[in-house]
Chain A
């Protein structure tokens, strides 16, 4: 069957930021879906967002409440969300309480009541909240056969009446295997939340979705004033074509460092600048961003360890104006440190900023601060998350410069404490050395995936003009990178 012969399944907006991308562009129309999860995981809010996004006076939404949260309280709390539009009640969204029927009658009567209301209202959306309580009433619990028959009839009827349906329920993960409802459902949305140390981490999974490809895996989500906001594992970039690496080199704003790197940083690379505290990592990063702005390449700085004002002020002390470009929309300084962030949320913020100003350069200052801003549970996945983030960003042509602090050691020469060197294309190492009773600084290019680079060990200083590299490589010493070099004579003997 050719593509044009296939039936077109319309996709409905979920009303949840980020979720449309996860479900493959929207929820299939007329699908029969389950939202499952523990109490407080956001099931009802998710259903409300879908309802408010799709209900109209012509094709309203019917929201059946059953033995759970009362509709009055539901309305009281849900109206606190910004998506809640009171103008949609009651013509576009009608709440119908089924508790009496459920308590006093059997599933057949419940089905008859739902059918009666659906035939009367011709709804586009039907929600039963909570479906679980309906089939778990204290007396006369239905047999498995009754339940299966009820679910099948309900699914058949609602699909035939062209309604997109959500059944909401508190289900445990081990019920996935043998509960008939999960077999009948076209879509299964699993919401979970877990306490990790002092943070709450919420994740959602599209366990199944008939008719279209969804993004697999667990996606973090947050419940905000605007309701649920989901953060796709692919950062909303699935389907985006990876930008082919070009030959362009980006200047760092430090001419001698550009030369050491063969003309600058290859566009779309991920660069790691490592060094101990005070070695000038942030200065170098600021020069990289300022140079980009000078060359018409908007930039973003994600800071975690100091506030944007302090960052801007410090740049000013090196003669770098970060104030004007912020006003001109050429620079955004993002300050992210709520302590329970996920990488996906951070990434979402960064991506939004990239889109907003068309950023070409990104500074993450620093990875240690980034990790600290994450919820403990996400810290365990930091490397994997960082890999996804860097891959996604460089894939759209953004050049990333990240800083990371390393403990200075005079016996080792670590590139970073994260074992993340493999994630980066290029590494610049800054370090202290002790020479002739002075603590001085050297810089070396450790790696450049895109080609050759200088092997020189160069001394540098932090001046009022920023990071300035000495004109020649440091000669007359050996074991420079140990931090405690030894002077050698011209004949090569130690002095």
Chain B
């Protein structure tokens, strides 16, 4: 189970990209942009194969939690296929598949390299984001 702080971070990253929807001409969903930013950053670090392995694991864990993600697949270059088939979350008390998938990916990073480094990678992927975007609501990093 991914810690609440990591889910919070995933929510904030998705919310940040969703807000960008309204202020720019950006393409794709918030989920797709969050994932792509992480993919870009992590492929540079771990290579395509390394990222693809992490993403596949994260997707498997996320699917177990949210059957809503069943149509999604990680393809050869590490990107996601089938994102458009995720149904919007209508239950405000439960996280949607997007949050779960991003949280699982971040959670795996936390498991492997720890919170401080994960946070730094996130900050690197969102250089325009303020410190608050990458901290949990109580001010604690990820």
Report A's interface with B, CB cutoff 8 A.
65, 70-73, 75-76, 79, 86, 89-90, 94-100
Contact = CB atoms under 8 A, between A and B. Distances in A.
A75 B116 CA distance: 11
A241 B31 CA distance: 68
Contact of A97 (B50, B54, B112, B113): B50
A99 B52 CA distance: 13
A65 B49 CA distance: 13
Given A65-B47, A79-B117, A90 B112 contact: no
B79 to A, nearest CB: 14
A266 B78 CA distance: 75
B19 to A, nearest CB: 25
A71 B45 CA distance: 6
Interface in B77-115: 109, 112-114
B74 interface: no
Contacts of B121: 89-90
B113 A72 contact: yes
Interface of B: 43-50, 54, 109, 112-114, 116-117, 120-121, 124
A104 B67 CA distance: 36
* Listed residue (A72, A95, A96) with the most chain B CB atoms within 10 angstroms of its CB: A72
A368 to B, nearest CB: 46
Nearest to B120: A89
A86 B120 CA distance: 8
Secondary structure type dominating chain B contacts: helix
Nearest to B121: A90
A90 B126 CA distance: 12
A72 B45 CA distance: 8
5 contacts: A71-B50, A76-B113, A90-B124, A94-B44, A97-B47
Contact of A100 (B45, B49, B114, B120): B49
Nearest to A63: B45
B44 A72 contact: no
A95 B120 CA distance: 13
Given A71-B50, A89-B120, A90-B121, A79 B44 contact: no
B46 A97 contact: yes
A98 to B, nearest CB: 8
A73 B108 CA distance: 12
Contact of B120 (A71, A72, A76, A90): A90
Contact of A70 (B50, B114, B117): B50
A98 B112 CA distance: 21
Contacts of B49: 99-100
A55 to B, nearest CB: 14
B57 to A, nearest CB: 12
Given A95-B45, A97-B43, A97-B47, A72 B112 contact: yes
B50 A86 contact: no
A71 B44 CA distance: 10
Contacts of A97: 43-48, 50
A482 to B, nearest CB: 70
Given A86-B116, A97-B50, 12 more contacts: A70-B47, A71-B45, A71-B47, A71-B50, A72-B45, A72-B112, A75-B112, A94-B44, A97-B43, A97-B44, A97-B45, A97-B47
Contact of B117 (A73, A75, A94): A75
A70 B46 contact: yes
B113 A99 contact: no
Contacts of A98: 47
Please list the 8 inter-chain residue pairs (A to B) with the smallest Cβ-Cβ separation, ordered nearest first. Answer: A97-B47, A86-B116, A99-B47, A90-B124, A75-B113, A71-B45, A95-B45, A70-B50
